[in-house]
Amino acid sequence: MHIVHTIAELRAHLSPFRRPAFVPTMGNLHDGHIALVKQAKPLGDVTVSSIFVNRLQFAPHEDFDSYPRTLDADAQRLEAAGCDVVFAPREKDLYPEPQTFKVHPATDLSDMLEGHFRPGFFIGVSTVVLKLFSCVFAGMPSGVAAFGKKDYQQVLVVRRMVQQFALPIEILAGETQRAEDGLALSSRNGYLSPAERLEAAQLVQALRALGDAARAAALPDLPALEAQAMQALARRGWKPDYLTVRRRSDLQPPQGPLAELPLVVLGAAKLGNTRLIDNLEI
């Protein structure tokens, strides 16, 4: 496995190939990232993963400076998973000058949910993903890029960006990997205290209960059910941003009977100082 830091080195290593399978990450890898690498690998002729903590998607009050950087351990895990090339650019390599050109995704998808509570987040995500795509896939006739479904809204934003820019890239959405108690694997789980870690599985339980309640009613009052779910979580000491039932296709609120609609229940809530997100397709 090769570890490269500059775009020129990356392109030199990829030049013999025609269809990269790419997994972008911010490092501090867990089993969810490794599962994506293993899913993507058979779909390309070279497997690439990037490790880059992207300043553009962090608000000033968020954890950019404290986000764990664990390149050596991450590289070992990626090599064991069959990754061929790790692209670990320094900030000056990927952003040699201020990134004044940015991708602004459609507001109907990016300004709700995560975009509402983290203004500018999807601008930062879209910009870095498009830049990474240009590094990995330049001159390639096709490729595949894998993202985890835990970041459900992000997958939809990236997929729409690829469609709008006519990029020859297939977006693979990998299933959320979970601990035995149901907690979605996340790099930020490491911030939780032992007591918070025990409590953290209540987020997915709250999503499951909300989904069950929505499906059980012929014409559910979703705003009322969502408010009740948030209140129940708040009584346990959480600070919920949202728990909501949405259409899978565009994350808009569903209308009418729900029986035949593909839906997803999404949630974001803060436990102590750690903000967790999760979702369940129902």
CB atoms within 10 A of CB 95: 17
* Predicted pLDDT of residue 145: 98
- Between the two ends of the chain, the Cα-to-Cα distance in Å is 39
pLDDT in tens, 193-242: 999 999 999 999 999 999 999 988 877 899 999 999 999 999 999 999 99
What is the pLDDT at residue 100?
A: 95
pLDDT digits over 247-257, tens only? 999 999 998 77
Count of other CB atoms within 10 angstroms of residue 22:
28
What CATH fold (topology level) applies to the domain 187-281? Pantoate--beta-alanine Ligase; Chain: A,domain 2 (3.30.1300)
Per residue in 6-23, pLDDT (tens digit) is: 999 999 999 999 999 999
Helices then strands, each counted (H, E), the chain: 11, 9
| Catalytic one of 2, 5, 30, 33 | 33
Q: What is the pLDDT of residue 59?
A: 86
What's the CA gap between 34 and 106, in Å, rounded? 30
Binning pLDDT at 50, 70 and 90, where does residue 278 land?
A: very high
CA 55 remoteness from chain centre:
15
**Is 72's pLDDT higher than 80?**
yes
For residue 66, the model assigns a pLDDT of 82
pLDDT score at 207:
98
Strand partners, 46: 20
Tell me the CA distances in angstroms from 56 to 25, 103, 124, one per residue in order: 14, 11, 4
CATH hierarchy code of domain 2-174: 3.40.50.620
Q: Is 61 a catalytic residue?
A: no
Record the pTM.
0.95
Question: Which residue type occupies 103?
Answer: V
Confidence check: pLDDT of 174 > 90: yes
Each residue of 45-55: pLDDT tens digit?
A: 999 999 999 99
pLDDT surpasses 90 at 68: no
Q: Judge whether 146 and 39 are in contact, CB under 8 Å.
A: yes
Mean pLDDT in the chain?
A: 96
Domain residue ranges in the chain: 2-174, 187-281
Rg (CA), the chain: 19
For strand 2-4 and strand 263-271, is the pairing parallel, antiparallel, or unpaired? unpaired
Q: Which residue has the tokens 């910009």?
A: 127
Per DSSP, which regions of 83-139 are E strands?
A: 85-87
Residue entry with tokens 């501090």: 28
Distance, CA of 90 to CA of 173 (rounded, Å)? 27
When pLDDT is averaged across residues 254-282 and rounded to a whole number, the result is 93
Rounded Cα–Cα distance for residues 136 and 11 (Å): 7
State the pLDDT at residue 37: 98
Q: Is the pLDDT of residue 259 over 80?
A: no
Tens digits of residue pLDDT in 98-121: 999 999 999 999 999 999 999 999
Q: How confident is the model at residue 61 (pLDDT cuts 50, 70, 90)?
A: confident
